[in-house]
Amino acid sequence: MDTPEQPQIYLITPPTITLSTFPDQLSRVLDGVEIACIRLALAGSDEDTIARAADACREVAHAHDVALVISNHVLLAQRLGLDGVHLEDAARSVRAARKELGPDAIVGSFCGTSNHDGMSAGEGGADYVSFGPVGNVALGDGTHAEHDLFQWWSEVIEVPVVAEGGLTQELVRDLSPCTDFFGIGDEIWSQDNPLDALNTLIAAMR
């Protein structure tokens, strides 16, 4: 598969969102930039909190014709009318999630830095795999998904790949030729103007 000329943007929500302000913030970003997919990546497991956030984000996402997936909560994805699930246990849950959600749902799998897990996820029915972190992040064990992993994947494997975690302009420039998507979250939400921050990263692709 030929990697597209310019990777697409896969937006990742903050771990906690303020319902009075975040939907408007999200809407401004979606108005300004073409987004391929949004991941609701909330911390915690309180179903009521997650459901309220999902409802608010789904309304904004679907109004802009953008798919919304949720991290890990397969059953909530169904119940809340979301477009699929992003799994964070490498390839272990992919087959079960695909069986539960059916052929039309989006099932993605975060595989850290392991091409073996990525291939297993693809074989299990994942629509995409993500590798990361590619840059320095506070969480994690200090290992990075290197350029060589994305280069190899883009040449050998047809399943689309997402580069995420600690993205900088330099990393975006470096990885643009060999990834299909950039998973962008904290890189922009931690800034005063998320849309400006996103456009700065997008400019580095060119």
Tokens of 48: 């009521």
Report the pLDDT value the prediction gives residue 27, as an integer from 0 to 100. Answer: 98
Amino acid at 3: T
Report the pLDDT value the prediction gives residue 40, as an integer from 0 to 100. Answer: 98
Report the pLDDT value the prediction gives residue 120, as an integer from 0 to 100. Answer: 98
pLDDT band at 138 (very low <50, low <70, confident <90, very high): confident
Residue 3 lies in a domain: no
Contact indicator for 41, 185 with CB cutoff of 8 Å = yes
Residue 1 lies in a domain: no
Residue 39 lies in a domain: yes
> SS3 of 156, please?
helix
Residue 111 lies in a domain: yes
Report the pLDDT value the prediction gives residue 52, as an integer from 0 to 100. Answer: 97
Residue 120 lies in a domain: yes
Contact indicator for 53, 20 with CB cutoff of 8 Å = no
Residue 2 lies in a domain: no
CATH assignment of the domain containing 64: 3.20.20.70
pLDDT at 3 over 60: no
Q: How much is the pTM?
A: 0.95
What's the mean pLDDT in 35-41? 98
Residue 199 lies in a domain: yes
How far apart, in whole angstroms, are the C-alpha atoms of residue 150 and residue 71? 22
Question: For the chain, what is the domain count?
Answer: 1
Look up the domain containing 22 and give its range.
Answer: 8-203
